[in-house]
Structure 1
Amino acid sequence: MKQGLLTITMAALLSGCGLDGDQEASDVSSQAGSAETGVRVTGTAMKGVIQDGLVTANRLLADADGRYQLDRFAAKPVRTGQDGHYQLKLRGNASGWALVELRADTATRMICDVVPRCDQPGTAGVAFGEPLTLASDFVLRGAGDLARETVYLTPLAHLAVALAEREPTGLSPAALASAYQSVEAWFGLAPGALLLAPPDLTRLDELSDVSADALQVAITNAAFLALVNDSSQWSSIAEVLADMAAQVAADGRIDIMGSGTNLALADLVAAAALQAAELQQVVDSSLISQKLVVVEYRNVQRFKTIADVYTVPDTGVELVDSVDTTETPAGTGTEPAPGTGDTSADSADSQTDTTVTAETDGTTTTGDLPATDSTTETFVPADAALLSWTAPLTRENGESLSMGEIAGFEVVYGTSADTLDQSLAIGDASVDQLLVDQLSPGTWYFAIRTLDTDGNRSRLSEVVNKQITL
């Protein structure tokens, strides 16, 4: 059984060096006369992880006409490390923006981040997590404010640079910032998601903490290579990236549903949804698996949005009625104040009163499971139930309850309201949604309790149910 949850975005900046200490010191001294006159630029090259890629950088300077061009003084090239990290230094101070570029040569390798393998012409394919060669025409670009000193090189960043180049001012800070936001919007990513450190999808079980937003970015980047597997038209990731960058440069966008020749935005979103599902089969961490379900769900929704815009009758996505939520006030007093839930799926409806409670030192906290609004359509898989709730803010005795006192939640469920024999513990107070999928046909019942930091558990909320019909 796989479940999904939503978490608050947490950005983590990673820095590293692709060279050993002696060579790095040599490169730095050759690029700038002293540490005082240079600015460090660091980041990660990630499609999968790109190893031994050649990275260089230039400042972006405005000419007399106000158009931004590359400074003629480029940083001396460095190679990315085995984890994709690079570090170099530019002359001058930490003001303005820089363009960073990676190119492949015969030494460059990329770790396959597509499940179950990365297809390559004339070979049996490269298994997930194993290195593959890159063609010499493979290029990744990214740009960033030197005050942040961090620039991530990914396919999505590459498209943002191509989009910014269309502006009359060239690669100006305003054009680049706007282009990054536009690319995020194309793929349904959270604002600022392209500035998050991209995780290595082949080592997810080793990560102690990664947000669903960062996973969504990484999986979207992986989808570029997944498209090579899915079509005989493309033989390499370089061809896929070149096709999309050319579309952006010419039209300021990617074809939404495809022209029969070019790749489509819908192709990428569908591939990302599939990769999120495939990754759930290869990770051991239940927390990572839950976040992958969230990413899969987001991409399915994004695909449906794309299809609706162009009124395509057959999207390849099975649609069911929606479950959406609105918040109701938390209860007060010694007994919980019930809320009303209206859950719809297919043609089956149910009406139940639901409440979330938590106890601390003999006192009880309350909060309502919010009422659902069946007039707002949100699409979930046919074999899934999307649960939503509101964390309690007060105790039943009227005392306030802070988020810091909540350790998490426990969702229990089963095929009988009297036998909720399956459960999931959520160790994050910020989580307020859970997608439970792969449910067999029939009526499923769900309830939730709150867990506090002292180890106390509340009474279960009242039970809600959903009819699953496949």
Structure 2
Amino acid sequence: MLYRGKKLSKQGLLCFPVVALLVGCGSGGSGSDSNATAQSQESGDTGEPVVTVAGAAVKGIIQQGMVTANRLIADKDGTYSLDRLAAKTVRTADDGSYELRLRGKADGWALVELSTDQHTRMVCDVLPGCDQADGGTVAFGQTLGLDSGFSLRGAGDLISETVYLTPLTHLAVALAERNSQGLSPDALAGAYTSVENWFGLSAGALHLAPPDLTRLDQLSDVSADALQVAIANAAFLALVNDNPQWSTISQVLNDMTTQVAATGQIQIVGDGDSLALSDLIAASALQASELQMTVDSATISQQLVVVEQRNVQRFETIADVYEESDTSLADSGDTTSGSDGTIENGDDTSTDTSGDPTETSDTGTAIPADAALLSWTAPLTRENGDSLSMGEIAGYEVVYGTATDAMDQSLAIGDASVDELLVDQLSEGTWYFAIRTLDTDGNRSQLSEVVYKQI
């Protein structure tokens, strides 16, 4: 999905006042949020020094995952490889935390790896639930099994760092492996920074304890940075929902890891076969919006608003880059905007202002065959006739689905100046769309009339 356009329009969609206030939510650290650092101690068996490595495996929280760690050792040529005999395997606890020991002093770096078996479970951290390959759905906060191919990796400095294992750290390790000297400390540090930049995260964010998104009300406080990391990790599983191409989190993670290993980056927008950075950012924005409705803490709710806005802004930045590099999606300048929105596909424009969608001639805008371009105009009035200024509009919410009574997918747009949205990677069939306006006081309008496109 790709945000498009910022033409500040002064006419159009009627905005209805709604009493549904956007409720916020709260969060805190994960079960392993102590930021414990590695410590050297004497082994009771041999007197040999050992170093404790601690952290947590969080996608959702991963329980009974098998974790091992190995020191990263440089040979005489400066190429780093693993000391495979460094540690035995331990299981993650119910809060995802782990602790193991490596022989030797607390110096250098270690690679930590998680694998799964039939005992491993993961907490569903995606709203409203996690779709399963068998067609079932696991509710938010409940656990699901993981296939045997699922794995996570992370790395850290044994002197000072807690090592968290997440999809984002997994991508960072894959990126660092492209270095000619192997998993060197410099390569790993640089890869962590690169992944943080991809997702618009603050420096050092991948070393923060990701909070359990399913237990936000039980946490006293959490930073927006930590929430943003946790929600970005949740987005990997969110991409499985309602997407027939991906049935497990392993498939999503493997697709992106393969891209990183081959090219050193994730493609910006989808090509119909592989996932893209824009997919993850869009899913992150939506999850941040959904989470605001699930918790009671006003403080954490405001943090989630910040996270949503960060993802929206990151998405718009990606859209700008893509638009500059791919003119096939450039606006032709003759877009037709109806009062309730339009859908353009390059060959016709389907509108639904009277209940009967119509088709018009080619607009000149080249839109992918599996995509729908939505456009709308900002409202000037509320339902009671009161005026509504652009400064009072916080953004919009687009909802869509394959039936008018099942528009169960949505995307929040936290920028009043945005007036276009490209929804791509749609499966064959008829797709229905509607939009509502959000104001700065948290009020939401009723949905517009529904428009549709046949894919």
Q: TM-score, normalised by structure 2?
A: 0.66
Mapped pair 1:14 → 2:9: no
2:267 and 2:145 map into 1 onto residues whose CA distance is 29
Q: Of the two, which has the highest radius of gyration?
A: 1
Correspondences of 1:340-419 after superposition (within 5 Å): 346=390, 380-382=414-416
User: Matches of 2:149 and 2:330 in 1, distance apart?
Assistant: 38
CA contact (8 A) 1:255 1:264 kept: yes
Matching residue of 1:258: 270
Q: Does 1:231 align with 2:243?
A: yes
Counterpart pick for 1:290 among 289, 299, 302: 302
What pairs with 1:120-159 in structure 2 (closer than 5 Å)? 120-159=132-171
Question: Aligned runs of 1:330-349 on 2, under 5 Å?
Answer: 346=390
The C-alpha deviation readout for 1:331-384, integer Å capped at 9, x for no partner, is xxxxxxxxxxxxx964999xxxxxxxxxxxxxxxxxxxxxxxxxxxxx943399
Aligned residues: percent identity? 62
Match of 1:194 among 200, 206, 214: 206
User: 1:280-319 to 2 correspondence within 5 Å?
Assistant: 280-311=292-323, 312-313=329-330
In the other structure, the counterpart of 1:179 is: 191
* Pairwise CA distance, 1:13: 4.3
- Once the two structures are superposed, what CA deviation does each residue of 1:162-199 show, in whole Å capped at 9, x if it has no partner? 00000111100000000000000000001111111110
TM norm structure 1: 0.64
In the TM superposition, what is the alpha-carbon distance from 1:122 to its structure 2 partner? 1.3
1:29-40 to structure 2, matched below 5 A, reads 33-34=46-47, 37-40=49-52
Distance 1:128 1:4, change over 3 A: closer
* RMSD of aligned residue pairs (Cα, Å): 3.0
Quickly say closer, same or farther: Cα 1:205–1:316, change in 2 above 3 A: farther
Question: Corresponding residue for 1:160?
Answer: 172
Structure 1 residues 13-92: aligned runs within 5 Å? 13-14=33-34, 33-34=46-47, 37-92=49-104
In the alignment, the residues of structure 2 paired with residue 164 and residue 133 of structure 1 have an alpha-carbon distance, to the nearest angstrom, of: 29
Q: Secondary structure at the match of 2:83?
A: strand
Equivalent position amino acid for 1:260 in 2:
G
Deviation at 1:87, TM superposition (A): 0.1
How far apart, in 2, do the equivalents of 1:33 and 1:41 lie?
19
* Contact kept? 1:270, 1:303, Cα under 8 Å: yes
Contact 1:163 1:248 in 2 (8 A): yes
1:438 alignment counterpart: 442
Task: Give ranges in structure 1 of 5+ residues lacking alignment.
Answer: 17-27, 322-343, 350-378, 385-434, 442-470
Q: Which has the higher contact order (CA 8 A, sep 6+)?
A: 2
Q: Distance in 2 between matches of 1:318 and 1:3?
A: 28
After the TM superposition, which residues 448-467 of structure 1 pair with which residues of structure 2 at under 5 Å, given as runs? none
User: In structure 2, what is the equivalent of residue 275 of structure 1?
Assistant: 287
Is the 1:140–1:158 contact (alpha carbons within 8 Å) kept by the matching residues of 2?
A: yes
When residues 224 and 317 of structure 1 are mapped into structure 2, their CA distance, relative to the original with a 3 A threshold, is farther
Q: CA separation in 2, counterparts of 1:260 and 1:210?
A: 37
Name stretches of at least 5 consecutive residues in structure 2 with no aligned partner.
Answer: 1-20, 37-41, 324-328, 332-371, 379-387, 394-412, 419-438, 446-455
Output the CA distance in 2 between the equivalents of 1:263 and 1:216: 20
Q: Give the number of aligned pairs.
A: 322
Compared with structure 1, are the counterparts of its residues 383 and 131 closer, same or farther at alpha carbon in structure 2 (3 Å cutoff)? farther
Alignment of 1:416-435 (within 5 A): none
C-alpha separation in 2, matches of 1:198 and 1:319: 37
> Once superposed, which parts of structure 1, at least 4 consecutive aligned residues long, lie more than 2 Å away?
1-5, 12-16, 312-321, 344-349, 379-384, 435-441
What's the counterpart of residue 4 of structure 2?
none
